[in-house]
Amino acid sequence: MESDFERQLKGYGLTTAHILYRLPDHPVVLQSYIWQDYDLAPDFPLMRGFLDFWQSTLDGLLHSVRYTHQRLIAPREWRMLNGEFILH
């Protein structure tokens, strides 16, 4: 399994989804759920897979999904440096 750092170097960014869903026993009440993982924009295969799982398995009907995505490491930000800092 790849580390989070390796995934970021391959273009993955941190995706956060704020999901509002209806409670099965009280459909007028909305509940909130936060999902977060490293995912690829613009298709978001991991988030879409999670939402497909939600709709096929869980009883709470989805009301809305808001998401944000931020690449934490971009290719232009990664460079090799040679040097050493000595303190004291």
pLDDT digits (tens, 9 = 90+) for 14-37: 999 999 999 999 999 999 999 999
* 57 and 45 Cβ atoms separated by less than 8 Å: no
Share of the chain above pLDDT 90, in %: 67
pLDDT bin (cut points 50, 70, 90) of residue 78 is low
Residue boundaries of the structural domains of the chain? 4-75
Span 35-55, average pLDDT = 96
Span 38-57, average pLDDT = 96
Burial (CB count <10 Å: 0-12, 13-18, 19+), residue 69: middle
Higher local confidence (pLDDT), 8 or 74? 8
Q: In the predicted model, what is the mean pLDDT of the chain?
A: 89
